[in-house]
Amino acid sequence: MSMFSGSSSISRRGVIAAGLAVCGAGLGLRVKFLNDTSVVIPECQYGMNEWLDLDDCFLGTEDDRAPGYGFMVSGCSVMTPNEFLKAYSRSDLKELHSDDADRPGVAVVDMKVRNEGTSDNGIKMFTWHLASLDHPDKVYEVDFDLLGAATPEIAGSVGFIVDPGVESRVIHFPFTTVGGPDYFHDYEDTYRPDIEGRRFRLIMTNLPERRMFVLDAKDHDAA
């Protein structure tokens, strides 16, 4: 009985090993198939003072297409929230008194926008992400509170429209990470951690071509 038991055990182990080998081979073939058939998205990088057009491309979904729109970055700097408000505020908000008010927690992208087409689609700023090239885990989003102070005409909105045939003035887009308050602070307080790194990329389209700005930022006092 022990011999049959042993041979049966060996047989089962052999079947299991063979099954694992087949599964492993199948997985390898599947990975190779996926690698061979994966879509490679071409990338195009833009620097300062170059127009990046959105024609035939989009960032989120095809519904986001805005043919005729173009963007040009003329500057990029890192500053404190209060430096931003002092330099650019066109509203009643001129100064913050929070703990982060005088810390370098804002990356500002100075950008013109034009619409050379007939599209009445708008631009959704909440889909923009400014990623640090020095610290890949750090990604910053548009700070709508600061943007509203600098650009009251779009305050309270997460998007905007440029009329066909119009080129905007330079708009100062602030990017931050807005976090929660420390334990002993008021619940409604916000906190903007320091910006990490001074090299960034701002992706404007993802498909069918990934178009992005690659930017070197200066500190505000050196800009």
Q: Tens of pLDDT along 85-116? A: 999 999 999 999 988 999 999 999 999 999 99
Please state which CATH class domain 43-222 belongs to.
Answer: mainly beta
Q: Parse the chain into domains and list their residue ranges.
A: 1-38, 43-222
- Record the tokens describing residue 23, joined without a space: 């599964």
Distance in angstroms (rounded) separating the CA atoms of residues 57 and 28: 34
CB 10: neighbour CB atoms within 10 A?
A: 10
| pLDDT of 10 higher than 50 | no
What is this structure's pTM?
Answer: 0.79
If pLDDT is split at 50, 70 and 90, which confidence band does 1 have?
very low
Contact 105, 99 (CB under 8 A): no
Task: Give phi and psi for 175, each to the nearest 5.
Answer: -115, 130
pLDDT of residue 118: 84
Q: List pLDDT tens digits, range 58-95.
A: 998 888 889 999 999 999 999 999 999 999 999 999 99
- What is the rounded average pLDDT of the residues 203-222? 94
Dihedral sign for Cα atoms in the order 57, 59, 61, 64: negative
Average pLDDT, the chain: 85
